[in-house]
Amino acid sequence: MKTFKEFNESFTTSQITNLKKQWATVKTINPTGEKYKALVKWINDKPYEMLHDLAIAKINFISYIAKKALMDKHNVTKDVMKRVYGGLLSMGEDAPANAVGDGSNVALPPTHEPGVHKKKKKDNKFTTFLKRFKTTKDINEMSSKELTLQIANDGQLYQKQIEPIIKNLARKKNRGIFDKNLAVKLFRYAVDNKVKELKGPQSRMIPGSVRNDAATKLLSQFSDEIDEYYKELQKTGRKK
């Protein structure tokens, strides 16, 4: 039987890859089964950032549950769900439906496996203290990721700044003058505005490296929209 490993704070690329591989073979799930209910609870208990990782990864069944949690718990709108995650149910994913079986093929955390009572190891105060701190690189990575999520889920910022940037870059691509470094700089303006909104006078505490990383992530995240608008320009023969 497949089992989840316990994940803390964030998923690694290899963990996401393993989940996709395991769940690709699952054909049916009984949404009334106890194991499925335990799975939903396990996913719903995850913080926003981990739900985002699961939702965007296109994991069979899992991504659907994570997307539902984002909408129900974190008020992610249908518009954002469609724009960022490809909709509640995107290509390559299945939603839970009544099916033959008792949910025994559902992967669960070890603590939910029957007969398994995993003891939690008690940390001493010093270990707990150390867990609060990561390397500067880890802190920056988490900050840039959170910034990217905040910007992607800001509908007003999307309309005022992100969408015009997308169209601007598509036009540059259509004219053959697209430059990736310039594209990152354009998204950096949006990042700076969001940082200022979130941090106010303390915005200077967010280093340039974090902002640049967030801008790079935004370029990657909205690259499909840039390509779509670029194709529209090619069809109409417009160069401006």
pLDDT in tens, 96-154: 554 334 444 444 444 443 333 444 555 454 454 444 444 555 545 557 888 888 888 88
Q: 52 pLDDT exceeds 80? A: yes
Mean pLDDT to the nearest integer, 162-182: 94
Confidence of residue 4 (pLDDT cuts 50, 70, 90): very low
Structurally, how many domains does the chain consist of? Answer: 2
Q: How many CB atoms lie within 10 A of CB 84?
A: 20
Q: Specify whether 23 is located in the same domain as 120.
A: yes
In this structure, is residue 2 part of a structural domain? no
Q: Among the three residues 127, 151, 184, which one is the final residue of a domain in this structure? A: 127
pTM of the model: 0.49
Question: What is the mean predicted confidence (pLDDT) over 229-236?
Answer: 90
- The residue range of the domain holding 66 is 13-127
- Claim to verify: residue 153 and residue 118 sit in the same structural domain: no
Q: Looking at the structure, do residues 146 and 89 belong to the same domain, yes or no?
A: no
Boundary residue ending a domain (127, 159, 178): 127
Same domain, 144 and 116: no
37 and 121 belong to one structural domain? yes
- At residue 142, the pLDDT reads 52
Q: Is residue 160 domain-resident?
A: yes
For residues 152 and 107, state if they share a domain: no
> Does residue 122 sit in the same domain as residue 148?
no
Residues 89 and 164 in one domain: no
Instruction: Examine the domain organization and report whether 111 and 175 are in the same domain.
Output: no
Last residue of a domain, one of 127, 154, 169: 127
Q: Which of 9-18, 99-108, 187-196 has the lowest mean pLDDT?
A: 99-108
Q: Cα–Cα distance between 231 and 170 in angstroms, integer?
A: 9
Residue 1 counted as domain residue: no
Question: Do 97 and 169 share a domain, yes or no?
Answer: no
Token pair 């950032």 is at which residue? 49
Q: Which two tokens stand for residue 215?
A: 């801008």
| Confidence at residue 61, expressed as pLDDT on a 0 to 100 scale | 85
The answer to whether residues 108 and 38 touch, using CB atoms and an 8 Å cutoff, is yes
pLDDT average, residue stretch 46-65: 85
Q: In the predicted model, what is the mean pLDDT of the chain?
A: 76
CA dist list (Å): 36 to 66, 96, 113, 124, 160? 13, 9, 12, 35, 41
In a shared domain, residues 81 and 144: no
- Same domain for 183 and 227, yes or no, is yes
Q: What is the pLDDT of residue 227?
A: 94
Least Cα distance to 214 among 161, 163, 143 occurs for 143
d(CA 159, CA 161): 6
